[in-house]
Amino acid sequence: MATIAPVSTVMSNRKARIQASPFRHLDPFLIVPVLIMNVLSLVMIYSSTRGKATLRGEAAFGDPFYYVKRQALFVMLGLIIMAVTILIDYRRLREWALGIYMLTVAMLAFVLTPLGSSVNGSQARFALGPFAIQPSEFAKFSVILMAAAYAAVHRGDMDVRRVVVVLGIAAIPLGLVMLQPDLGTALVIGTIIIAVLGVAGVKARHLAVLALIGVTGAVVAINVGVLEQYQVDRLTAFLDQNGDTQRSTYNLEQSKTAIGNGGLTGQGLFEGTQTSLGHVPEQHTDFIFTAVGEELGFLGAALLLSLFGMVVWRSWRTAAVSNDFFGALLCVGVVAMFSFQVFENVGMTMGIMPITGIPLPFMSYGGSSAFVSFACVGLVANVSMRRFS
């Protein structure tokens, strides 16, 4: 006859299992804002695409939930990626950094072949079944990993020669990204490198020189024909916002109108004029913030930015209390990536930054961006949890 274990034994075993779980030290102030933003993203994507799906058909075949269902799948896969990233001790990733980096470089080169696909003048994707993979998004993750791995080994000894090595680490994927061309991702990679080098001990004047070189490189790229004409027009629109609204400044004017319509509390969910009529191009991707601003108003937009602020703050705090320098540099790279992307994306919708095609993390429609954003949050959570091991 089977015996029943005492209640105290059952409770003790349960406590032991909880204590053994790798997720017991998971930072809720990091994870919960990410989950909230992804739920909000699904709502905003539905609001900004339901008219497009039903009125225009396109890829949605008349299904108003087409984009939402795909993004929900991306979110679920992203959660799995985040969980896997958390479970693997981040210190082991240092050994894998070079392999991940080389794989990313290979994918970036692959999209430039005839097998890559061109969207809006940028050859940045390749097909994988029914989905499109965008390697430039994964380049952000691999550059964070590789730069942190190298700089951590040479902590306190980042002389000019070693700085050049880190720049070389960034230069290869950055150059391939510019050949697509994708100025926005190139700027993100540059920001990550400057942040990692700054924390690694490189002098401020050297960082200023690097930033100046980056700006000069961007100006040269604009003037020698590296960028597509529509990308040049976007930058021109930023400098001349009173220009021809029917051409280069159309996106910006519609975006500013949508945000202005929102006022303090917004026009109401699914009630935004610009959003419902589909007047803002690419609203479910690069311009998703305009849907938030129009339908949820200043208060809704402020709440969204506060959620981003929470993620950045917890990431920075994790960097400050990390057990080792490698973990700290990983978190700094993530902070730089998220901070720049949010600032640039939100800024471009309001006309205070040029339009560069950078997605808003956890909000914009797209699988590759979602996967990398979740993986980066997984890195930070990983570093945070391993403080207790």
Given this model, what pLDDT does residue 181 score? 83
Rounded Cα–Cα distance for residues 347 and 344 (Å): 5
- pTM for the model stands at 0.89
Location of structure tokens 């004029």: 273
Look at strands 117-119 and 131-133 and give their pairing.
Answer: unpaired
Given this model, what pLDDT does residue 282 score? 86
Q: What are the pLDDT digits (tens) for 1-33?
A: 455 556 555 455 555 554 556 677 889 999 999
User: In Å, what is the CA distance from 125 to each residue of 40, 134, 379?
Assistant: 26, 5, 25
Angle between helices 367-385 and 325-350 (to 10 degrees): 140
Domain ranges of the chain: 27-388
pLDDT, averaged in runs of 10, over the chain (389 residues) = 55 54 82 98 93 55 84 97 95 94 95 80 77 91 96 84 89 91 90 93 81 76 65 67 61 90 92 87 92 96 98 97 94 98 95 88 95 97 87
DSSP string, 126-173: EEETTEEE-HHHHHHHHHHHHHHHHHHHTTT---HHHHHHHHHHHHHH
Give the residues across from 126 on adjacent strands: 133
CB 74 within 8 A of CB 371: yes
User: In Å, what is the CA distance from 174 to each residue of 105, 186, 224, 366, 377?
Assistant: 10, 5, 17, 21, 23
The C-alpha angle 315, 38, 195, rounded to 5 degrees, equals: 30
Give the residues across from 344 on adjacent strands: none
CA 372 remoteness from chain centre: 7
